[in-house]
Structure 1
Amino acid sequence: LRFDILIEGCLFVEVKATESVQPIHKAQLLTYMKLLDIPIGLIINFNVLKLTDGVSRLMLPGANQA
């Protein structure tokens, strides 16, 4: 496992600087989340004009949406 940031044991943050977020990036993050039972993950792509356009939020199926 080589993830970027794990916050408080409940949020993964994967940092990218790519042209666009590809399905393989999301699959990679979901795999990390499943293996370590982390319910929420963010992919942050810094290669965008507005940072809010580069944020993708992922949740494990069945995770508590509190």
Structure 2
Amino acid sequence: MSGQMKNYNKYYSYVRTMPEPIMPSELPKRKLNLPLIAKYAKEHGICFANMTEEEKEMILAKIS
């Protein structure tokens, strides 16, 4: 068995066990207002990446 065939077998076994892709229509619909989030983060002196999940959810709840 050649090295190419070994690589193919390893790849094929990985592809068979790979989960199904997530379609864009299956993703939750969220409206995101980046200027509003940036303004909130600037007012509170924090970076958006460092915001807690509760803060992010609070801002998203205000938007929708």
Query: What's the TM-score once normalised by structure 1's chain length?
Result: 0.28
Query: What's the TM-score once normalised by structure 2's chain length?
Result: 0.28
Larger radius of gyration: 2
